[in-house]
Structure 1
Amino acid sequence: MKHYSEEEFLNQLLSIPSVNGVDDEREIANFIAEYLKDCKVNVSVREIDQRHANVVAVLGGKSKEKVVWNGHLDTVPYGKLSQWNTDPAVPAKKNGCIYARGASDMKSGLAAMVYALGNMKQRGYIPEKTIYFLGTCDEEKGGLGAKEAVKEGIMDDAVLLLVGEPTGMKIGSAQKGCVWLKMKTKGKTSHGAYPQEGINAVEYGFEIFRKLKEKLSEFVHPLLGQPTVQITGIKGGIVPNMTPDDAEFMLDIRTVPQVSTGEILRYALCLSQTYERNTDGMLKTEFTVENERMAIETAPDDLWLRKTEWVERCMYLSASQTGINYFTDASILAEGKKDLPVILLGPGEPFLAHKPDEYVELKKYLQFIEFLNKLF
């Protein structure tokens, strides 16, 4: 077996391209599996299609109670190479940091989990709980890997889900959900000189969006703040001198635990029905949920959360809690498991995700490996 130091192992993962939609994500799954096999860990690659695979490893504990460690295998594209000061495909070390695409989001968290698990097995350590490591593909798009893992029953009977997403080693105890809501409005065309004779589908669509945003701003979470609602796509208009009678809007809504997708749809329908009545039924609206990820919150008195805080204090870390604004595979893996504690914690920095010159501090990467050894 080739021996890697913690830093060398991180560099190996960063050197394997796994850009979502471009690269074969099975390559990094196979590398992780071979490494863990060499460490004598029970591991398998679960192929999904010609480009996607999950990797699942199990380290038996003193108890059969299952804790799940999750990290995703894929990254976003590099973006404009001219905006990088280093090659995003080749890890580069500068001033105690490793630069590469995925360094923060989230191959540093992934590498730490794999390295810690292999090290536990090599030194004969038996954890209190049975540890399931789940490396998922396609997190950056549709969550294909997480969905397959749920179908396979990997999350069944889990007592904890730990996700190594970038938090700067702060404790993520709440995560915003996400709804991509498509809104179609149909009105009535008219001559541009006589707008009062038409029903402007674009203007009414904007008005419904504005009112929905205003309504959702009433909900405030102590860690996550308010929901956000923005228009991320719009189609509409015929020619400059005609009132548009059709429009389509794509809304990106980031939710908090107090408001569900069903409630958002009810608010939207109520608003649209008000405008339909005001136009004598000539305005028609239609809503379609294109993507949905639930919001997550772990109870403040949860024992795993308290233990996480205790371990961080023992390591002289802040032990402060934070909210996660982006969605993760946790929203799929924990779906329907209301009482499952979910903790998001990793060495990367959320403000560096998806940006040029992405990096991770080596100190925090090593701290995360130590944290995993102490928590379990």
Structure 2
Amino acid sequence: MNVVELTRRLVAFDTVNPPGNEAPAMDFCADLLRSAGFDCREIAQGPNRSNLLATKGLDSKLPALGFTGHLDTVPLGAAPWSQPPHGAEVTGDKLYGRGTTDMKGGVAAFIRAAIDTPVPPGGVALLITAGEETGSDGAREMVQAGDLPAIGALIVAEPTLNRVTQGHKGALWLRLLTRGITAHGSMPDKGVNAILKMAKAIQALEDFVPGESHEVMGKPTLNIGTISGGLNTNSVPDLCEVTLDMRSVPGVEHGPLRAALADRLGPDVEIETIIDLPSVWTDPADPWLMSLSQHAGRIAGAEAGPASAPYFTDASIFTPALGGIPTVILGPGDPALAHQTDEYISLDRLAQSEEIYCEALKDWNRTEQ
């Protein structure tokens, strides 16, 4: 089963999240990897959901090279698809289907590379997750389950057009709540208007700066994503809710950022955390990273130089849990096609990524964690 056929098999599993239903796809991957001599441990994550840790050739004295990717996908959307979203149809250089670019193609490429390449010193570890699209739930489950192997560097196979990408912004999503007292709309003085409280809070956010800029990632950002409140037109609202999406950069810690925001908003605004995923960044001068960049340039013509991804990945969970190891985002998908109707992946880029991953395994000789 080559990398194209493996991608097609993975796309055929409907793993739209919610609800996910990743377990059958994980079972399939585990069976394939066990037949190639890997030790596989599936970590449950609720009904019909699981994560997979597959390892081979681990050495207690040397760290393994790690790969990670997720098998859940976003919903299909309302627009009609020209190709069956789980049909995995091939037209020319394009393999269509939900999850082809984000990111079952990347998972197929590193599975195929890990099976076909001799085991490097320290071994290889594949961390295949569920629930990434809803906030890296599966990665968190794997870390909490414990017993992760010693990994010296991590490749995240998210879509980058096979360019080595040194990191990504963090994500801090918050829910803001203001409370009031309901009353008849004709007698607003008898109540306390929660929407008016929130309006003051929104004004306070207008010039709030989430932190200093990063030389590659740029500025941290704040977006007010949703607002809701009120019972009906002729009632004083007793509750108003706003959600915020803040994207952080290295040097911006989420704890102090949340505290600064709370201080700016004042005691009338309650704050709840929805997602808390830190930024990830590896020094572009890291020798392992530089070697990987050379392979990507030679094999895929990928641009060199520092770059960051606009999205978050499971590295927000795994990289800190593994001791802040060097981490790159490198995958065959096109980030512009992620979550799109008629999502597809290039067969050429799929083959290139498999070759890059094979070279990474051949080169792996890290002696320190």
1:214 to 185, 201, 207: 207
Which residues in structure 2 correspond to 1:102-181 (within 5 Å)? 102-120=99-117, 125-155=118-148, 157-181=150-174
Which residues in structure 2 correspond to 1:55-70 (within 5 Å)? 55-60=52-57, 64-70=62-68
Superimposed CA distance per residue, residues 194-214 of structure 1 (whole angstroms, 9 cap, x where no aligned partner): 989987532442443344353
Confirm or deny that 1:292 pairs with 2:285. Answer: no
Cα distance, 1:300–1:307 mapped onto 2, change above 3 Å: same
Confirm or deny that 1:19 pairs with 2:16. Answer: yes
Worse overlay, 84-93 or 323-332: 323-332
Residue 328 of structure 2 corresponds to which residue in structure 1?
A: 343
Worse overlay, 213-222 or 87-96: 213-222
Within 2, Cα distance between the matches of 1:38 and 1:336? 29
Within 1, Cα distance between the matches of 2:225 and 2:129? 27
Give the partner amino acid of 1:202.
I
Residue 195 of structure 2 corresponds to which residue in structure 1?
A: 202
Give the total of aligned pairs: 359
Give the partner amino acid of 2:132.
E
Is 1:182–1:249's contact at 8 Å kept on the other side of the alignment?
yes
Superimposed CA distance per residue, residues 69-120 of structure 1 (whole angstroms, 9 cap, x where no aligned partner): 101121112222x431111010111230111000000000000011111112
2:176 to 174, 183, 195: 183
Give the partner amino acid of 1:19.
V
Is 1:176–1:224's contact at 8 Å kept on the other side of the alignment?
yes
Give the partner amino acid of 2:77.
G
Give the partner amino acid of 1:30.
D
Residue 303 of structure 1 corresponds to which residue in structure 2?
A: 287
Gaps of 5+ in 1: 277-283
Cα distance, 1:32–1:68 mapped onto 2, change above 3 Å: same
Superimposed CA distance per residue, residues 217-242 of structure 1 (whole angstroms, 9 cap, x where no aligned partner): 65322332222322333222355466
Residue 227 of structure 2 corresponds to which residue in structure 1?
A: 234
Give the partner amino acid of 2:272.
T
**3-state DSSP class of the match of 1:58?**
strand
Residue 247 of structure 1 corresponds to which residue in structure 2?
A: 240
Cα distance, 1:194–1:228 mapped onto 2, change above 3 Å: farther
Worse overlay, 186-195 or 86-95: 186-195
Structure 1 runs of 4+ aligned residues shifted over 6 Å read 188-199
Within 2, Cα distance between the matches of 1:342 and 1:323? 12
Superimposed CA distance per residue, residues 126-163 of structure 1 (whole angstroms, 9 cap, x where no aligned partner): 31331101111111224332123213435453211211
Is 2:43–2:142's contact at 8 Å kept on the other side of the alignment?
no
Within 2, Cα distance between the matches of 1:241 and 1:319? 60
Is 1:212–1:267's contact at 8 Å kept on the other side of the alignment?
no
Cα distance, 1:184–1:156 mapped onto 2, change above 3 Å: same
Gaps of 5+ in 2: 362-369
Confirm or deny that 1:266 pairs with 2:245. Answer: no
Residue 333 of structure 1 corresponds to which residue in structure 2?
A: 318
Shift of 1:60: 1.4
Shift of 1:244: 4.2
Within 2, Cα distance between the matches of 1:228 and 1:114? 35
Worse overlay, 317-326 or 206-215: 206-215
Q: CA RMSD in A?
A: 2.7
Is 1:108–1:347's contact at 8 Å kept on the other side of the alignment?
yes
Is 1:233–1:251's contact at 8 Å kept on the other side of the alignment?
yes
Shift of 1:375: 1.4
Identity of aligned residues (%): 30
1:79 to 66, 73, 77: 77
Confirm or deny that 1:322 pairs with 2:319. Answer: no
TM-score normalised according to structure 1 size: 0.86
